């Protein structure tokens, strides 16, 4: 037993045992820190996985919404496809009516000028109608010749 007591009283052994205890203590702290970091990392990974699942669900809902919007747009295109043709046709009819109205207005003016005694040349210059039309208007609407 005396050997054992002298063994533990040796300063070199005491330093070695103290260093070993400090190293074991440090290893324990490092292991605890590693475990703590591992738990935090696991929680973060779980959070990221939940977020990814939510994003995936959102993408699926968005995709379905876009498909619905696409179907609605196709329906609108089908319904409005004929409108463009109808609009063009209405525009052409309106242009024709405006041209006819303008022509009628010129004829009315030519008749009025002829009744006031204007010659066919004057009608052509004033209204832009053809010479043949102007002569016919003067013949039928001009002042009566005795």
Ranges assigned E (strand) in 64-122: none
Residue at token pair 């006819």: 100
> What SS3 state is found at 140?
helix
Structure tokens at 69: 């919007």
Structure tokens at 21: 């205890």
Question: DSSP code of 142?
Answer: S
Q: Is residue 115 within 8 Å of 143, Cβ to Cβ?
A: yes
Structure tokens at 73: 């747009």
Residue by residue, pLDDT tens for the chain (146 residues) are 667 777 778 888 889 989 999 999 999 999 999 999 999 999 999 999 999 999 999 999 999 999 999 999 998 888 887 777 777 777 787 776 666 666 678 888 888 888 998 888 988 988 888 889 889 888 888 877 64
| pTM for this model (two decimals) | 0.41
Ranges assigned E (strand) in 19-64: none
Rounded Cα–Cα distance for residues 47 and 55 (Å) = 12
Rg (alpha carbons) of the chain, rounded to whole number: 53
Q: Is residue 122 within 8 Å of 113, Cβ to Cβ?
A: yes
């Amino acid at each position: 037993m005396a050997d054992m007591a002298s063994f533990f009283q040796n300063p070199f052994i005491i330093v070695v045992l103290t260093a070993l205890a400090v190293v074991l203590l440090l290893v324990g702290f490092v292991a605890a820190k590693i475990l703590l970091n591992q738990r935090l990392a696991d929680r973060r990974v779980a959070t990221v996985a939940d977020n990814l699942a939510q994003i995936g669900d959102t993408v699926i809902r968005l995709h379905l919404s876009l498909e619905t919007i696409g179907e609605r747009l196709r329906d609108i295109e089908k319904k409005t496809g004929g409108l463009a043709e109808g609009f063009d046709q209405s525009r052409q009819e309106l242009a024709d009516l405006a041209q006819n109205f303008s022509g009628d207005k010129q004829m009315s003016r030519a008749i009025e000028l002829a009744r006031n005694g204007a010659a066919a040349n004057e009608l052509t210059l004033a209204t832009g109608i053809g010479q043949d039309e102007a002569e016919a208007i003067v013949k039928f609407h001009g002042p009566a010749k005795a």
